[in-house]
Amino acid sequence: MDYLKAKLEPKGASEVHEYMMLPFAAFVMNDGYIPVEHCKKKKAIFIKEGEPSIVFGSNGSMNDHAQARYRVFLKVYLKHGAPFMRKLRSQIKVKKSADAA
């Protein structure tokens, strides 16, 4: 097999890896999705008018639409590498609540 000519087609997974959660959240927000819920129910919900919602839990589980977007995210990551991840991570600011302490 000629690996240099092989088409890169990540299949994704039914779960988002813990390391990828924040960059993936930034990725979907850059696409116009708005976060509507987090923390208390241990899941993140993103909505965009005219599109199915994206839902992923703190355990990494995702709904079908989130899995499809995650596959796109992985393709972009494979194409652009670490600079892509650094850029997304720089866009996220995490605030800890008093409950989490």
Q: Render pLDDT for 63-86 as a digit per residue (tens, 0 to 9).
A: 999 999 998 999 899 899 999 999
Q: What is the rounded distance in angstroms from the CA atom of residue 41 to the CA atom of residue 9?
A: 33
Q: What are 52's two structure tokens? A: 């199915």
Q: 60 and 17 in contact (C-beta within 8 Å)?
A: yes
Q: What is the rounded distance in angstroms from the CA atom of residue 101 to the CA atom of residue 94?
A: 14
Q: Which parts of 6-67 are beta strand (E)?
A: 34-37, 43-48, 51-57
For residue 1, name the pLDDT band (cuts at 50, 70, 90): very low
pLDDT of 42 reads 82
For residue 101, name the pLDDT band (cuts at 50, 70, 90): very low
Q: Render pLDDT for 3-58 as a digit per residue (tens, 0 to 9).
A: 556 555 555 567 888 889 999 999 999 999 999 866 666 888 999 999 999 998 88
Higher pLDDT, 62 or 41: 62
